[in-house]
Amino acid sequence: MIAGGGPAGMMAGLLLARAGLRVTVLERHPDFLRDFRGDTIHPSTLQLMVQLGWLDEFLALPHQKAADLHAEIAGRQVTIADFSRLPLECRYIAFMPQWDFLNFLAAKAAGLPGFTLMMGHRVTALLPGGGVAWESDSGTGEIRAPLVIGADGRHSVVRAQAGLEVIDFGSPVDVVWLRLSRLPDDPAPAMSHAGPQQGLVLIDRGDFWQCGYVIRKGSFDDVKAAGLPAFRQALAALAPLPADRFEEIADWDQVHLLSIRMDRLRRWWAPGVLCIGDAAHAMSPVGGFGVNLAIQDAVAAANILARPLREGRLRDADLAKVQARRMFPTRATQGLQRMMRRKRNAKGEAAPRPPGFVRLIACWPVLSRLMGRLIGMGFRPERIRKDPSHEPG
C-alpha cells in the first residue's frame, strides 16, 4: 500500500506492480492538476523511460528542453550546469507539467493487473498489524497490507503516524511562483532557463514564463501588505522583460507561495512502514532535485523490496537497506543545495554576491560539466533491474 500519488508513489507503485505484486496507491486529491509543482525531469529520470521502452511516447507530451542551466553573475550569463557530455541517451532536462508526468505513469500502471489507484482518498491512520485507514468524500475504509510506503510529501501523515524523527535544517527563504505571457520577441534565456538572478528564476514554458521570486522566509504577508504595484516593480527591476508585462499580475490569487523546507528523517522506516521522496527528505527547489531524487528512491525501493514482498518474508532489515542505499545521495544533495544558496544576514537580506561555490563555477567553466553530472544524474543514479526480484549489489 502506497500513500501519495506523486512522483515517488506512482513510480514505486508501477515498478512493484510490474514485479508481480498487488499494489494500491491512495492519492488525496481527485486529480493531478496542481500548478507550480516540481516539473524538471532530469536526464536520470529520462534514462528510466529509456529502460522501460517508453521514451518516444513520453517525449511526445508537451515539454521544453534545456541542455544547460544558466545564472546571471556580475551582469553576464554563466553556464552553471552543462548536460551535453552525460553518458546517457538524453543529455538535457525536460520541463514538463507534473500532472502530465503523473498521468503518463498512471496510464502505464493501469495496464498492470496488480495495480489500483484510488484518487480522492486520504490516509488518516496506520493500522496495528499493517495497513492504513482512509477517508474520502464518499466514506471511510481500511486497507490491510504488509508494507505501507509513505510517499505523501513533506507534510506526510505516514511519517507522523509512525513517529519518525525529522531533522530540520531550516531555510531562510520562501519562493512565490506566478505566470506571465511569453511573446515571440521576448529575450530568450539560453536553453529555457535563467537564474538565479538576484532572486529571480525564469523558466520558458513555451507559451508562458514560469517565474519564481525568492523572498525572506515568512515575509509573504509583508510583500502583500506593500501592495501589488510594489511587487510588480520589484519583479520588473530583475527580469529581462518589459516592465509593462507585469501589469498582467492583477490579483494576489495569481501569486502562489511555496514555503521552502529542507529536512530529512533520521530513520526512514518503522516495522511495516517505509518513507521515500519528500516524506523522507524535503528538498529546496535549488537545482530541481526533488522530483528526481524521489524517483530514484522509488526505483531503489522496488529493486530491494519486490522479492521479499512477493515471497512474504519482508523484514526490517530490508527496509533499512533502502535507507542505507539512498541516504548518501540525500545527504550529498542537501549539502550541495546548501552550498548553492545565497547567504543572508540577520534581517534575511541576501548577500550582494552569489555563493562562493557558484562564483567558482563562473571562474572555472569546466566545473559546469561536473555540476551537469551531479544535477543531471545525481550522486547515485538507480537503474531498474530487469528482474526486480534481485537486490542491488
Claim to verify: residue 9 and residue 108 sit in the same structural domain: yes
Q: What is the arithmetic mean of pLDDT over 32-37? A: 72
Q: Which of 72-86, 246-260, 350-364 has the highest mean pLDDT?
A: 246-260
Residue 249 reports pLDDT greater than 90: yes
Cell of 149: 510506503
User: What count of other Cβ atoms lies within 10 Å of the Cβ of residue 310?
Assistant: 15
- Which 8-state DSSP code applies to residue 342? P
Distance CA 251, CA 239 (A): 19
- Indicate the residue type of 337: Q
Element (H, E) at 117: strand 115-119
pLDDT, tens digit, 9 for 90 and up, residues 36-46: 577 889 999 99
Claim to verify: residue 153 and residue 201 sit in the same structural domain: no
Q: What is the arithmetic mean of pLDDT over 255-261? A: 88
Residue-level pLDDT at 325? 98
Claim to verify: residue 58 and residue 207 sit in the same structural domain: no
Claim to verify: residue 48 and residue 135 sit in the same structural domain: yes
Q: What backbone torsions phi and psi does residue 265 show, to the nearest 5 degrees? A: -75, 140
Q: Is residue 383 situated within a structural domain?
A: no
Q: What is the arithmetic mean of pLDDT over 226-245? A: 91
**Residue for cell digits 507530451?**
61
pLDDT, tens digit, 9 for 90 and up, residues 164-223: 999 998 888 889 999 999 998 887 654 334 444 457 888 877 788 888 898 888 999 999
Percent of the chain with pLDDT over 90: 64
**Residue for cell digits 557530455?**
85
Claim to verify: residue 84 and residue 127 sit in the same structural domain: yes
- Indicate the residue type of 18: R
Claim to verify: residue 66 and residue 188 sit in the same structural domain: no
pLDDT, tens digit, 9 for 90 and up, residues 360-369: 777 787 888 9
Claim to verify: residue 254 and residue 268 sit in the same structural domain: no
pLDDT, tens digit, 9 for 90 and up, residues 50-71: 999 999 999 999 998 989 887 7
Residue-level pLDDT at 141? 97
**Residue for cell digits 507559451?**
207
Element (H, E) at 274: strand 273-275
Residue 47: which domain range?
2-169+261-377
Distance CA 134, CA 154 (A): 19
Looking up residue 75, the CATH number of its domain turns out to be 3.50.50.60
Residue 341 reports pLDDT greater than 50: yes
